[in-house]
Chain A
Amino acid sequence: MITWRPAAIVAAGTVLLALIGIVLGDTVSGGWLWLGAAILVTAVAILCAVDVLGAAPPRAMTLSRTGHQSLWLGDTGSVELVVRNGSDRPFIGRVRDAWVPSAGAYPTEQEVRVDPGRAVRVTTTLTPTRRGDRPAVRVTLRAYGPLRLAYRQTTRRAAEAMTPPWRLRVYPAFASRRILPEKVARLRILDGSVVTRGRGQGTEFDTLREYVIGDDVRSIDWRGSARRSDVVVRTWRPERDRRLVCVLDTGRTSAARIGDEPRLDAAMDAALLLASVAARADDRVDLLAVDTTVRASVTNVDKRTLLWRLVTAMAPLEPALVETDFGLVAGEVLRRERKRALVVLFTALEPGALGDGLLPVLPQLAAKHKIVVAAVHDPALSRLAQVRPDAGPDEVYAAASAQRTLAERERVAAALRHHGVEVVDAPADVFASRVTDHYLALKSTGRL
């Protein structure tokens, strides 16, 4: 294929011939001009052919990659493409490392020179704009001839065969990270209050220590004192190693966009905050993402690697347009959790989805575990339900529809509460905080 230069040469030749024609007028015959034009075009064609033959064969290049394999959403990373020239001619040309648009790759094309037998790194900066796996799609090479009149380029098929595969995993943004210190501080206060409150629900035996003046005499362990010839008291701490299961509903209701992000992303954010706090409180956290099949699951993870494991499992989740199988949810939870656990179900309060799916299986689940249904609610719905003083008929009808939806949601929540399920229904901006608060409240009252 040719570059713009042959066209420029022909254009220049055209100008020249036009000048000759103007200057010489009728003294030069048309035949000579035609001959000149033919020679010009033929010469350009021959030059282009020679130039193509002089270009380095792009298929002789070998490609490999190094660089970031994962990023948090909003961060910037880079991936290097190593171009090694296996031919005996220098490769002078352009490289396009094409990523999916949401990977935010920059620059899209780069000018590269690779001498025979050498390798050059082409760095692409990535600023992903979407969570999940962002793949590199195709590397296209264009090798110019020595005169830059023509080039050789990999065909699509050859390019796809040559491209080294790479997949950048983009973790969810975890925007509620900023309120994590506040929640952890509340957890510490909880610890302290338990220490002072002594034994009761939600606490467990910690250690025996020497009695100091001021301790509650009722906490003196007489048997221990007898053994140690010193007065010792028992100390208590909040219960540990309780189990927490975060269940993400990735079915159709999770595809609804609330504010700027889908319901699933709000649920992920809340689940991450909840898991971080629970891990600080020494509880064990499991994750399950289900629609009609189990999309992701994290179980029996060490506290230190928990967050990383969670985000890795969550990153590629996408809402699926299917009705969630709550029978499967109940079965999976019952199968995995032998001990009593707190099951936080991140879903939507929709009569269709929950009434037909969840309510039938709820009794057997609630008998074994403590269930919390956490639902993001849409602030736009409450706004719709209000009739403004200057409203038109369409707004009144929409308000009626919204009131009806709210009433239905209220009915579902009531039905769930009837089964002993607790419902957290909060707008997206405070959702993560509310869910974690609820956990802390359960923890402090020992209902975990």
Chain B
Amino acid sequence: MKKPRSWRWLRLAVPPATVLLVLLTGLVLFELEQPDEDDPAYLSPASTAAIGASTLADGVRAAGVKIARVGGTADAFLPENRGDVTILLTTPQFVHPEYLRRLALLSSATRVVVVEPSRETLLRGQVPIEGTDRALASGVSAPGCDYRPATDAGRAGVRRTRYGPVNQAGEAQLARCYDDSLVVLSRGWTTMAVVGSADPFRNDRIGEFGNAKLAVGLLTERPLLVWVDLHHREAPPKPEENPYQGGPTRQPTSTAGPTQTAGPDRPSGTPSGGRTTPQRPSAPPQTPSPQQSERQNPLWHAFPAWTYVVAVLLAVAFLLYALARARRMGGPVVEPLPVVVRAGETVTGRGRLYQRARAREESLTTLRSAALSRMARLLRLEPGTHRETIVTAVAASSGWPQHTVRDTLFGAPPEDDGSLVIAAIQLEALVEAVTTEQPDAEGARR
């Protein structure tokens, strides 16, 4: 016999599946909504798309600051872009970490603005900020500091990634605004501003709150803005580009006009041979691992080594015992039970219905008519005998006074349950009296 397919598993599967589906749908929608940093329009000064930054660029130009748009970080180190400049890194995760490190060695007049660097980017670039906490969307908050662009802007929607403390000595934190979302720190000779959200720079969000003022304020502190418009992962720098040789205090060439270098132009002199490997490997720094080993849980040494072995073996033994007990000798056997119902079920059920409906009069009438028919049989009264005749006959055979018999058999309907009970008990007593007194009554009549 083929068993009907059981759908019981659905009860277990459906609720988690629903939750999972909702979560997945949410995640997919969220990811679709996220701006794509590979997109050439993303925070590009020339793009008018929603994720572009042409509005910001216009604002910056209106403030009298020239914009030098470069296609790679290497171009930011060109002599004409050195000196009294602001360098804007819109996509720091594409910037090669080596450049991020070298940015610290630029002249003291240089300001660097980094848009929403991730924890990994900060770590690789050796930016001394510990830890990030990224929210799903940007929130609005008050500046909460006396950093000039922030105080000018007031409330702004910049609170998305929140940055931890600046950890290393000698590199002081200059300002911390918007609930840790805007951190300004001095790094080497330069000043670096880490902005926790791309929203203030984007065309579609720049109009909200003080976003425009904040973004423009951050980028207009120096007369030239080098806008690194990078949308692909950068190649490691060539040794010739080493800024150490140029020296940090080289005279700025800011007098030169704004060079609108469009596209990923390679700087001159790059395709030279020789060593192509960078001096330092680009792998993540190895420093955290010895720290972790030093911080190993001291509890491990609290017990002798054999205790752990014994604990694991005991667990294995319990697991084996559970396995041994797990399989039974065949499944349980089902008894096909016949349908059996208690016979008095309907009667007691109907009794409870009477009680709930407070059918006192109805109940007492039923009891009285049953008692009457029983006594009528005993006293040999014809059906349809007049009421008074019955009362007389019953009174005679029971020995009860006539008015009591009349009250008992034909009295008023009961007011409450108490009087119903009294009436029923009295009725039963009357029937009892008639049935037991019957021989005497018969004898008296004869």
Contacts and interface: CB of A to CB of B under 8 A. Distances in A.
B370 A14 contact: no
Contacts of B347: 381, 384, 398, 401-402, 405
B306 A387 contact: no
Interface stretch (B32-40, B229-237, B324-332): B324-332
A397 interface: yes
B351 A99 contact: no
A322 B287 CA distance: 83
B355 A393 contact: yes
Interface string A350-391: 000000000000000000000000000010110011111101
Given A258-B343, A404-B366, A140 B329 contact: yes
Contacts of A14: 310, 313-314, 317
A385 B370 contact: yes
A33 B345 CA distance: 70
A387 B324 contact: no
A10 B316 contact: yes
A137 B350 CA distance: 42
Contacts of A405: 346-347, 350
A21 B330 contact: no
Interface in A259-276: 262-263
B344 interface: yes
B342 A257 contact: yes
B354 A3 contact: no
A17 B306 contact: yes
A314 to B, nearest CB: 14
A30 interface: yes
B329 A142 contact: yes
Interface stretch (B20-28, B169-177, B424-432): B424-432
A156 B364 CA distance: 62
Contacts of B428: 386-389
B288 interface: no
A387 B343 contact: no
Contact of B309 (A4, A30, A109): A30
A98 B333 contact: yes
B312 interface: yes
Contacts of A101: 333, 335
A286 to B, nearest CB: 25
B403 interface: no
A198 B198 CA distance: 124
B343 A400 contact: no
Contacts of B325: 4
Contacts of A212: none
Contact of A37 (B307, B313, B331, B359): B313
A384 B428 CA distance: 13
A401 B363 CA distance: 7
B412 interface: no
A378 B427 contact: no
A396 B306 contact: no
A255 B342 CA distance: 8
Contacts of B324: 1-4, 6-7
Contacts of B373: 407
B441 interface: no
B263 to A, nearest CB: 61
B354 A33 contact: no
Contacts of B334: 100
Contact of B327 (A34, A153, A257, A389): A153
Contacts of B341: 255-257
Contacts of A396: 363, 367, 417, 420-421, 424
25 contacts: A1-B327, A7-B324, A10-B317, A28-B306, A96-B330, A100-B334, A142-B329, A156-B330, A256-B342, A256-B345, A319-B338, A321-B339, A380-B343, A380-B344, A384-B348, A387-B427, A389-B428, A391-B425, A393-B417, A396-B367, A398-B347, A400-B354, A400-B362, A401-B351, A407-B370
Interface of A: 1-4, 6-8, 10-11, 13-14, 17-18, 20-22, 25-26, 28-30, 33-34, 36-37, 40-41, 44, 94, 96, 98-102, 109, 130, 132, 137-138, 140, 142, 153, 156, 159, 255-258, 262-263, 318-321, 378, 380-381, 384-389, 391-394, 396-407
